[in-house]
Amino acid sequence: MELLEINNLSKSFDGKKVLEDISLSVGQGEVVSIIGPSGSGKSTLLRCATFLETMDDGELSYCGKKVVSSENGKAVYPGKAEMQEAKSKFSLVFQNFNLFPHYNVLKNVTDAPIHVMKRNREEVYEEASEMLKKVGLSDKEKSYPCELSGGQQQRVAIARALVMNPEIIFFDEPTSALDPEITSGILKIMRELANEKMTMVVVTHEMDFARAVSDKVIFMDGGFIIEQGKPSDVIDNPNNERTKSFLKKLSL
């Protein structure tokens, strides 16, 4: 089953095209890594997929249900109730954690499920404790973000994403703000999620991770998808010269 389907997405800022004719699908249990140089449109694609940016044109479906349709070359969005339903299908882990500084760890993790999703408080607290244990932070429930390292803050962000019980988690360069030693701990958690068949879309510069964990790799450049396929094809045996050039620079 396709959890996410995007067809012919385009997006411009101030008349400058940043995404052009983007089409992709993500199946249940798949890990899809999106790679490419800075400014290629990777993060904008994630922001469009999670409704933080509005598409100019194109179609977008979650779990087989069309959310955004295209009419006369323009993207048409549904009403509030349908948007809320679509938003309940995914979570997003940001590059810079995006935790609330005035909330402790437990409140950061439980606030949205309790107040936005109106779920049972005790049930959410129980689940949050489980998720914090999963990411190795069960002793930090009462700590505040300023008392945590960058790696710990990103672990809280992952726990927060998991407590939303999403069908799919988007990661926008989750390790780029972290030093290499801490990065390996975050990637280990993500590998475990992949082993548990969590559906993930990951914008990343970590080629070893993308090669080892992904079912599909998408290479973007200049707002286009240049190449997509299995890691063994896109990373190890790319067809396109732009993909080859990008990977060659990374290995220097």
For 211-240, how does the pLDDT look when each residue is reduced to its tens digit (9 = 90+)?
A: 999 999 999 999 999 999 999 999 999 999
Residue at 94 is within a domain:
no
- Same-domain check for residues 127 and 142: yes
Residue at 65 is within a domain:
yes
- Same-domain check for residues 225 and 112: no
Tell me: the pLDDT tens digits for 50-94?
999 999 999 999 999 999 999 999 999 999 999 999 999 999 999
Residue at 107 is within a domain:
yes
Look at residues 133, 165, 197 and tell me which one is the last residue of a structural domain.
Answer: 165
- Same-domain check for residues 18 and 133: no
Residue-range definition of the domain harbouring residue 225: 2-89+168-251
CA-CA distance, 53 to 63, in Å (whole number)?
A: 20
Residue at 174 is within a domain:
yes
Work out the angle between the directed axes of helices 180-195 and 150-163 (0-180°, nearest 10): 20
Tokens of residue 199, six digits: 């559906």
Look at residues 165, 198, 222 and tell me which one is the last residue of a structural domain.
Answer: 165
- Same-domain check for residues 81 and 173: yes
Residue 58: C-alpha distances to residues 8, 54, 62, 77 (Å): 5, 10, 14, 11
Look at residues 126, 149, 165 and tell me which one is the last residue of a structural domain.
Answer: 165
Are 215 and 32 in contact, with CB atoms under 8 Å apart?
yes
- Same-domain check for residues 85 and 132: no
Burial 66-84 (b: 16+ CB within 10 A, else e): ebbebeeeebeeeeeeeee
Query: Residue 8 has what DSSP assignment?
Result: E
Residue at 15 is within a domain:
yes
- Same-domain check for residues 55 and 107: no
Residue at 229 is within a domain:
yes
Tokens of residue 114, six digits: 């309790």
- Same-domain check for residues 103 and 194: no
- Same-domain check for residues 62 and 50: yes
Residues sharing a CB contact under 8 Å with residue 16, sequence separation 6 or more, in sequence order: none
| CATH number for the domain that contains residue 49 | 3.40.50.300
Per-residue pLDDT of the chain (252 residues; tens, 9 = 90+): 899 999 999 999 998 999 999 999 999 999 999 999 998 999 999 999 999 999 999 999 999 999 999 999 999 999 999 999 999 999 999 988 899 999 999 999 999 999 888 899 999 999 999 999 999 999 999 999 999 999 999 999 999 999 999 999 999 999 988 888 889 899 999 999 999 999 999 999 999 999 999 999 999 999 999 999 999 999 999 999 999 999 988 875
- Same-domain check for residues 129 and 184: no
CA-CA distance, 164 to 56, in Å (whole number)?
A: 28
- Same-domain check for residues 104 and 204: no
Residue at 188 is within a domain:
yes
Residue at 195 is within a domain:
yes
The residues with which 65 forms a beta bridge, in sequence order, are 62
pTM: 0.94
- Same-domain check for residues 154 and 61: no
Number of domains in the chain: 2
Strand 65-71 and strand 57-62: the pairing is: antiparallel
- Same-domain check for residues 85 and 177: yes
